[in-house]
Structure 1
């Protein structure tokens, strides 16, 4: 019976974690370039139950042989193994603002592949984002809304000296006196990226940096200026999933209440000393 407590409690904790993930998706439904997270549930390893017995051997002194008979396996609940971002392309929304840019996936050679803008965070480290809601800072550099420098193909901050510029579909920023290719990185397996918050992703410390997408002849992309990529959160489906998670949480809660009533009866009625 006590094992049932743990199983139901594990189910409640898993649904709570799932609810938190879905709530975060809803909160970022209007964040440009946001990729919704998906919570993956996994069951704990099954336990094999065996019955310990002994058989009497008919001898003059009496001999008992211990035996083990398999009863079956039992599962002890589920847990949230990890949350995986869904890198599906979001819809485009026209803004009319020169510094807004939307990445559009073209033909990608890898099923789990995706492309990203490259930016430099406050510590000078390279990060990746799908949020093209950029602006120009007081020094004339192209930056993200958080103030992170947007990098070019060579990993340098891009100086536009104002908002009067155009961006070609190939990702080239065309200024009066120069053309600067935007840094657009390609990851063959975007699920290996670690989400940091503020729409940023990074690689493990020992994995170096992603290659520019232009280095892969099989990968194509385009950039749409004066537009933003919407998040890929389906609010209707997410609300339905949140209700489902809540109902499953309630079901596990009722199981615990039933166990509690059974334990109360076992302790205060069945085991009462007379």
Structure 2
């Protein structure tokens, strides 16, 4: 019975964490470039139960009893949330008419032969520690010194890993990522390519980084086909209707585990107060 408490508790904890993940997705439904998290549940390893203590009588002169065991069956000891992985699907484009807003538009992106999943392209930013960060949020701004910055205040880097400074408020960004001022190219937006985006580490504010903090390969020199649209942003890819449905399902699962826990508690209380009572 006590083992059942742990099994039920693991189910409640996993559903609670899933609900927290889904709530975070909903809260970022309007965050540009946000990639919704997905969870995967995994059961703890099963145990094979056996009944010990039975003995087989062997008819010998002095008598012989051989200990025997009988298999009862498999026992699953619970479940846990193994990991959360962002869904790197293209979000819808929303027109803003702001010159500093840029949206990445995926074309033909190579597929990772190991995982069978499609790669991804990202804007390159300079993190606070100097190492590169990556994002799909193209809601950029120009600071007081004329540098192009992200919504979180990080510098946007060009193809050569340098900060992009705008000499004028009037500029144009082409589909190839070239920054034109008075029709003269002054920089080109840095775009990184990840063959397996799931290896990126997710941070806050829609940022990602590599595991070893090394820069991603230059997307312009890869086989990835993509473009950019100025005056647009990529919306979050959170499906609000599906997320709400998943939240209700997770809540019902939590509630079902809670009722099982209450039943275990009543059974244990009865065992202690009634079955274990010694009549004087």
Same fold (TM over 0.5): yes
Show CA shifts across 1:138-186 (max 9, x none): 1111001221100000100001134311111111111234341110111
* Alignment match, 1:144: 150
CA distance in 2, matches of 1:149, 1:208: 17
Q: Runs of 5+ in structure 1 lacking a partner?
A: none
CA distance in 2, matches of 1:175, 1:25: 38
Alpha-carbon distance, 1:93 to partner: 0.3
CA distance in 1, matches of 2:126, 2:72: 59
Runs of 4 or more consecutive aligned structure 1 residues displaced over 4 Å after TM superposition: none
Task: Say whether 1:247 aligns with 2:265.
Answer: no
The TM-score, its normalising length taken from structure 2, stands at: 0.94
CA distance in 2, matches of 1:209, 1:248: 42
Structure 2 matches for 1:210-229, cutoff 5 A? Answer: 210-216=216-222, 218-229=223-234
CA distance in 2, matches of 1:138, 1:127: 22
* Alignment match, 1:6: 6
CA distance in 2, matches of 1:211, 1:86: 21
Alpha-carbon distance, 1:251 to partner: 0.3
Moved more, 154-163 or 140-149: 154-163
Structure 2 matches for 1:1-274, cutoff 5 A? Answer: 1-52=1-52, 53-110=54-111, 111-176=117-182, 177-205=184-212, 208-216=214-222, 218-274=223-279
CA distance in 2, matches of 1:161, 1:128: 25
Moved more, 84-93 or 105-114: 105-114
Show CA shifts across 1:70-121 (max 9, x none): 2221111110000000000000000010000001111011133011000001
CA contact under 8 A between 1:99 and 1:163: conserved in structure 2?
no
Q: Runs of 5+ in structure 2 lacking a partner?
A: 112-116
Moved more, 43-52 or 15-24: 43-52
Show CA shifts across 1:25-78 (max 9, x none): 001000000000011110110011112132121122221112222222111111
The TM-score, its normalising length taken from structure 1, stands at: 0.97
Cα RMSD (Å)? 1.1
CA contact under 8 A between 1:112 and 1:191: conserved in structure 2?
no
CA distance in 2, matches of 1:75, 1:262: 21
CA contact under 8 A between 2:46 and 2:77: conserved in structure 1?
yes
Question: Using a 3 Å threshold, how does the CA distance of structure 1 residues 161 and 146 change in structure 2: closer, same or farther?
Answer: farther
